[in-house]
Amino acid sequence: GQQVKQSSPSLTVQEGGILILNCDYENDMFDYFAWYKKYPDNSPTLLISVRSNVDKREDGRFTVFLNKSGKHFSLHITASQPEDTAVYLCAAGQGTGSKLSFGKGAKLTVSP
Amino acid sequence: NAGVIQTPRHKVTGKGQEATLWCEPISGHSAVFWYRQTIVQGLEFLTYFRNQAPIDDSGMPKERFSAQMPNQSHSTLKIQSTQPQDSAVYLCASSTGIYAEQFFGPGTRLTVL
């Protein structure tokens, strides 16, 4: 079954707005959590990641929050820009195993 | 740095034919991963190698699919007797190791007629 689940497969936000993308996981052995960004006809690229020893990691306009007890992590994007329009994939893995389990993706559109 | 290289970018095969997909990881990366992407299933893990050794092939279909890494500069994914349901984008990724970012190649779009 799907080990990582993304809600809201499609979202639209106005430029300058705040957006939250959510992801739930099943395997409580996961200790690495990441968000990848994918433009059409391009490969996914890492946006931000966090290990399970912290609850939050911020990188500019992007912040990932991790709720281990709830098996949930989220991506917050502030001051949305048109170039943020893309598909966002959440992923989780076990460090020792390294393979990643991906969500099905959420398509974000930032409207001017 | 050329990034992860995958060839061919597109491959069309007839049902029952064999398809071999190639991946050249980023120089110095010790881990190589294969994933498959479809609209229905999304991005699914297939198999991975570390320092050329097979570590985890739990995502590989038990029949017809095989992967090798004969040297540190390339890996192959072979699909025998291809079926229409094998049609997908096959992505290769490499990384420097545990917890490290995985860098994806452009993918090979396989179409089985």
Annotated domain spans of chain B: 29-103
Which residues, given as ranges, of chain B have pLDDT below 70?
A: 1
Evaluate if residue A97 carries a pLDDT over 60.
no
Domain B29-103 -> CATH class: mainly beta
Chain A, nearest residue to B38 by Cα: A104
Q: Show residues of chain B in contact with A43, CB under 8 Å.
A: 91, 104-107
Q: Show residues of chain A in contact with B95, CB under 8 Å.
A: 98
Q: Show residues of chain A in contact with B107, CB under 8 Å.
A: 43
Q: Which domains does chain A have, with CATH numbers?
A: 4-111 (2.60.40.10)
In this predicted structure, what is the pLDDT of residue A96? 59
Evaluate if residue A86 carries a pLDDT over 60.
yes
In this predicted structure, what is the pLDDT of residue A95? 72
- Contact of A88 with chain B, judged by CB distance below 8 Å, is answered with no
**Which of A43, A49, A98 lies closest to B105 in CB terms?**
A43
- Contact of A105 with chain B, judged by CB distance below 8 Å, is answered with yes
Closest-CA distance, B69 to chain A, in angstroms, reads 17
Residue A4 contacts residue A90 (beta carbons within 8 Å): yes
Q: What is the pLDDT of residues A37-58, one digit of tens each?
A: 999 888 999 999 999 999 999 9
**Which of B35, B99, B105 lies closest to A95 in CB terms?**
B99
Evaluate if residue A91 carries a pLDDT over 60.
yes
DSSP B102: P
Q: Which helix (H) or strand (E) holds A109?
A: strand A106-111
Q: Show residues of chain B in contact with A103, CB under 8 Å.
A: 42
Q: What is the pLDDT of residues A6-45, one digit of tens each?
A: 987 899 999 999 999 999 999 989 999 999 999 988 899 9
CB neighbours of A110 closer than 8 A, spacing ≥ 6? A12, A13, A14, A15, A17, A80, A81, A82, A83, A84, A85
Q: Would you call A99 and B33 a contact, using CB atoms and an 8 Å cutoff?
A: yes
Q: Would you call B98 and A96 a contact, using CB atoms and an 8 Å cutoff?
A: yes
Residue A108 contacts residue A88 (beta carbons within 8 Å): yes
In this predicted structure, what is the pLDDT of residue A81? 96
